[in-house]
Amino acid sequence: MCDTVVATAEATADGVTVFGKNSDREPNEAQHLLYVPAADHPPDSHVQCTYITIPQAAHTHAILLSKPFWMWGAEMGANEHGVAIGNEAVFAKVPTQKKGALLGMDLLRLALERAATAGEAVMVITELLAAYGQGGNCGLQHKSFYHNSFLMADPSSAWVLETAGPHWAARQVHGVYTISNGLTLGNEWDLASPELVAYAVQKGWRHGREDFHFARCYSDFLYTTFSDCRRRRQRSADLLSAQWGGITPGVVIAALRDYPSRIQVYRAERDALEAQLVSGALDRAGHPAGERAAFAADGFAQAGEAEARWLEQVSGTSMRSRPNWLYTRSWNRAGRQARMPAE
């Protein structure tokens, strides 16, 4: 499942916002790392998103995305102003729209292209949501329809934005905040769609503003429960809060991969390489673009060599226990579809 986390200045070791996300897309759906430079666009130009075309902005910022290869949008990314956004699938009582509109991933990319702060990103997404709606198939091999929540941050601030169809609420984040495939906002927010409470009252979910709670009113019970989002969210929040005032990129990375496996075979070497690359990137933050690009290319090369070595080590390590046959069958089918050699 997906998890997105943020720690703002008051909770971090160096007083700078730290943001992170992991993703649970389909096994054979490649993630494409894409850089798009800043650009100016002529009047009346348009942009083709995954399913629909909308008017283009006069200027779009430079962006770096990690995206499913087949869609226009992305599940995570950052722009030249230091705005970072991650999205989560969330499940609500409001029916999902099957007809293609803007995917949550499209909204994320559009916000990165058009916003210079996290607060501006909230406004970009909510204005586009009102104008075009969200909807369409989000899956590659298996159709999937859902609503979206977003965690967005810039170097000095962060916001959480959660949606259910055209309805939404947003709140500025101070300290630690995490989201995991479920609505989290309750009866306090800084911004909200005009009919947020009225729609819930109309549906009989609550009597009025005095007993309104966004997550309790709007969440779909079945999918929200089986996604195990509340337990995962609590775990990531606890891990980060325990290091309040000392949170670093390494702490966030560790929280996002808090799972046991054969990873013990290469954990120490992986952690050392990550620490080296993160430290080197931070040291070069103000250096010329060419030098930073060369460092990034070298980092990718080192990571590729390390992954090949670790794969060989893991392949020679026996598992402590075998997974059940349904789990094995599912992964064997995915392996055949990807034309991977059998073990």
Beta bridge mates, 55: 46
Cα gap 133→37, rounded to integer Å: 27
In this prediction, residues 10-39 reach a mean pLDDT of 94
What number of other Cβ atoms are within 10 A of residue 69's Cβ?
Answer: 10
Judged against a pLDDT cut of 80, whether residue 340 lies above it is answered with no
Cα gap 64→40, rounded to integer Å: 17
What is 3-244's CATH number? 3.60.60
Beta bridge mates, 160: 151, 171
Cα gap 89→101, rounded to integer Å: 16
Judged against a pLDDT cut of 70, whether residue 261 lies above it is answered with no
pLDDT tens track for 85-105? 999 999 999 999 999 999 999
Which DSSP helix (H) or strand (E) runs through 311?
A: helix 289-315
Cα gap 8→240, rounded to integer Å: 11
Tokens representing 227 are: 């996604």
Mean pLDDT of the chain: 93
324 versus 276: the higher-pLDDT residue is 276
Q: What per-residue confidence (pLDDT) applies to 207?
A: 84
Angle between helices 267-283 and 289-315 (to 10 degrees): 180
In this prediction, residues 332-342 reach a mean pLDDT of 81
Q: What per-residue confidence (pLDDT) applies to 55?
A: 98
Please report the DSSP string for 230-273 in residue order.
Answer: HHHHHHHHHHHHTTTT-B-HHHHHHHHT---SGGGGTHHHHHHH
Residue carrying the six token digits 């009225």? 198
In this prediction, what percent of the chain has a pLDDT beyond 70? Answer: 97
In this prediction, residues 153-157 reach a mean pLDDT of 94
Q: Quick one: pLDDT band at residue 1, thresholds 50, 70, 90?
A: low
pLDDT tens track for 173-212? 999 999 999 999 999 999 999 999 999 999 999 888 888 9
pLDDT tens track for 268-314? 999 999 999 999 999 998 999 999 999 999 999 999 999 999 988 88
Q: Quick one: pLDDT band at residue 77, thresholds 50, 70, 90?
A: very high
Judged against a pLDDT cut of 80, whether residue 318 lies above it is answered with no
Cα gap 236→183, rounded to integer Å: 16
Q: What per-residue confidence (pLDDT) applies to 342?
A: 66
The amino acid sitting at 279 is: S
State if pTM tops 0.85: yes
2 catalytic residue (yes or no) = yes
pLDDT tens track for 205-256? 988 888 899 999 999 999 898 888 999 999 999 999 999 999 999 999 999 9
Cα gap 172→191, rounded to integer Å: 9
Which DSSP helix (H) or strand (E) runs through 326?
A: helix 325-337
Q: Is 41 exposed, middle or buried (0-12, 13-18, 19+ CB in 10 A)?
A: middle
> Which of 2, 138, 217, 229 does the annotation list as catalytic?
2
Task: Of 22-31, 79-88, 164-173, give the lowest mean pLDDT range.
Answer: 22-31
In this prediction, residues 147-158 reach a mean pLDDT of 96
In this prediction, what percent of the chain has a pLDDT beyond 90? Answer: 79
Q: What per-residue confidence (pLDDT) applies to 244?
A: 97
Cα gap 240→217, rounded to integer Å: 28
Cα gap 129→166, rounded to integer Å: 6
340 versus 55: the higher-pLDDT residue is 55
In this prediction, residues 27-54 reach a mean pLDDT of 96
Judged against a pLDDT cut of 90, whether residue 61 lies above it is answered with yes
Q: What per-residue confidence (pLDDT) applies to 321?
A: 66
Judged against a pLDDT cut of 70, whether residue 319 lies above it is answered with no
